[in-house]
Structure 1
């Protein structure tokens, strides 16, 4: 590819919105059209498959296609709506590759518990989406394969680890897709691709077996979507399948609330990373809008342990170490030497620090106390999702030397991990501001445990005040 061709590729926007059964519907709108008989579920699947094929060569977002779309039960809030499952979650009959070339994945014998919960909403699964190796990276890139590209600007990252899902939804291939979040992996790609991404409270979704075995379960499942109502409807529908009795029910949130809130404003991360000018402007403008709605916004500090970043990184390294030790359960040919540079670097870092594990776990678990203290007198906290705007492809590639790469990751992912450690809900929504290149910027609203309703109501208010930018309109 010549330099001029590379520059043209970097400026390219990609979408497949057109006049077919999907139109520009979100998942709620498409499900309504199917219920009314305006289109059929089969037509929606057919046209979604055609859209995916049309966009895949440019985005590289799909890991595996189902030969025949797997229709849900024919009932549920999203009956007939085409969607994808992320390739770190078992879907019966399909391999689960975790984004890794360290092993040859086997076909799953049964659905994961969350897959069953996802299917209960009525979606039609078309296949599985790509993620970076074992979900460790905030970008969906590889050492020896094409990256997942951002449909708003194909020279830039789609985020990670749910980058494949986010790219497909943003480009209009499907209205909604599965995502999960262990350090920001729903919210980061949502921010990068101009989507809504809600990380629910720990325990809100049905748990997976691996998480229950870990000292701190960081990962929560959910979806990425183009509208607040899709994320709200998914949460309500998922509760119909299973609800945690230890958490207050959310129910169906359908719009803003009249309640006026006290909102903390956090522009720089608790570990001292300063957000860049474009991100600060987007968050500040959002704060001003919330004040116009009648909410009170005031600066806040989260006084978490200054060792939090190192501790979180050590815990991430523990996860990579455990994968290296237990990898043969994924495939008998598993070879940890084939794991990518980020996974290897994390594992090697942990091996050099493993004696610190008890203290790391103790301090991470105490983070909930500092988080709760920061919320005194507040209902939610408004912050950036990421410390700077979406980087170009290659900036966070696992081929970058580990010391440089981890420095870049920590300068980028500075806000989201706290919610994973504490287990609190957090939502990314598109800001009104965009970058000079037209890339979306996400803002994040975080709450106390069980506060999903409040987060969705605020997100509805922002969307109603100024509808989110649409890729097909740019």
Structure 2
């Protein structure tokens, strides 16, 4: 192996073990990471900010010395915090939230920030501020989003693990598109990662995108809010008992997966059956598709409206038209036009959908669906310069499984079980009842053992190219 790929093939736990044994120093891991970013990021555009100099070597922690990247949705002291928007292009963060402090205490070393869609609104990482982030499996395809930069950075071997967050699928969808493991914790499971509050923030979970299940499990153990929940701790082994798993393919918008996705889904059902689990087809939760999509985007629009109002009041100059993308402005304008009852109606719609999901799946240990209903879309398909109605329509076609788990507060995960020859990966999605994070991680370990995916490298990755 060349110098560039020596550490790229190792997950975060393996890199930390080398540090703990004294076989490599944190400085060596960091310098190798920066060399990988310099070599491949100009092509993929996953990383939008890098640190100016090598940070001090951490003295301890389970991830001691491991370089990682932070999604530009979360502040990190001294680094630009743009949230993918021209409005905050020059914003420098002064402090970390409790979540960031826990990451630093674990020994992780921040190398920079990753790209996202503006405010994490769209499922494609294309912004007027940063440009286009490319999928390393097919440069003409989207990395999806909103955590596309984090997924690409891990899939390309730039870092072994990257922070991400998920308000409707933003961890799980990019993980699926890039052939990675993407876990969304239960609501309230982890420490606070935002400095603001809103309904959308309450639906958003912070975690990571990783190549291995153990990296994700360890990451969860260091970010748990132990004052609020019975801790999961570091889950380290496959689940022992056999599960009763519900499954359906109809999306919350009433659609069905494309033939390629259905074939991958049927393969996953066969795998679970071979492993001894009981897989039972059920009817999807009953929802009003149009009302649910509208409610979800109203909640998002309310959060963005708060940001616009805050900037208007604090800087004395209203937010200008060219400081936000077309889609963002249309969301804000629609929310304002709906009047003061819009959020109340949206909350009621989402609460009804959450109840429907819980009631439909109550008798089961887990729920299986595809992660995305279609193959990964081409670049430009979810461009932020398109109109609101068209973007919501296109988004709803592909992102029809994951948002309901944010609404209901459930843990969910995309597992990379299908790698089509010459194509883009297709992930399968599993969800469980709120609080059942350990059950999902145990299932993930079992699936990882049955279908090892760590050595599935994208054509435009460090191990494949160097």
TM-score tier after normalising by the smaller chain length: over 0.9
| 1:81-230 correspondence runs (5 A) | 81-143=66-128, 145-210=130-195, 212-214=197-199, 217-230=202-215
- My pick for the range that moved more, 387-396 or 398-407, is 398-407
> For residues 23 and 354 of structure 2, what CA distance do their matches in structure 1 show?
49
Structure 1 regions of 5+ residues with no counterpart?
1-15
TM-score by length of 2: 0.92
Q: Is the 8 A contact 2:84 2:119 kept in 1?
A: yes
**Secondary structure of the structure 2 residue equivalent to 1:102:** helix
Q: Distance in 2 between matches of 1:106 and 1:88?
A: 12
TM-score normalised according to structure 1 size: 0.91
Please say if residues 99 and 223 of structure 2, whose CA atoms lie closer than 8 Å, have aligned partners that are also in contact: no
> Contact 1:264–1:297 (CA<8 Å) still a contact in 2?
yes
Contact 2:147 2:165 in 1 (8 A): yes
Aligned equivalent of 1:290: 272
Q: Deviations over 1:357-379 (max 9, x none)?
A: 21211221233321211122200
Per the TM alignment, residue 251 of structure 1 is displaced from its structure 2 partner at its CA by 1.7
Q: Verify: 1:356 aligned to 2:342, yes or no.
A: yes
> Contact 2:253 / 2:397 at 8 angstroms: preserved in 1?
no
How far did 1:429 drift?
A: 1.1
Say whether 1:325 aligns with 2:309.
yes
Cα contact 1:200–1:220 (8 A) shared by 2: yes
Give the one of 199, 214, 235 matched to 1:253: 235
Q: Which residue of 1 aligns with 2:253?
A: 271
Residues 132-185 of structure 1, C-alpha deviations (whole Å, 9 max, x = no match): 111101110024652011111111111111111111111001100110111111
Q: Provide the alpha-carbon RMSD of the alignment.
A: 2.2
Partner of 1:52: helix, strand, or coil? helix
Rate the CA distance shift 1:52–1:364 in 2: closer, same or farther, 3 A: same
Indicate yes or no: 2:226 matched with 1:243: yes
1:380, CA displacement in angstroms? 0.5
Q: What are structure 2's unaligned runs of at least 5 residues?
A: none
Distance, in Å, in 1 between the alignment partners of 2:151 and 2:318 is 28
Matches of 1:145 and 1:294 in 2, distance apart?
47
Q: Secondary structure, in 3 states, of the residue corresponding to 1:88? A: coil
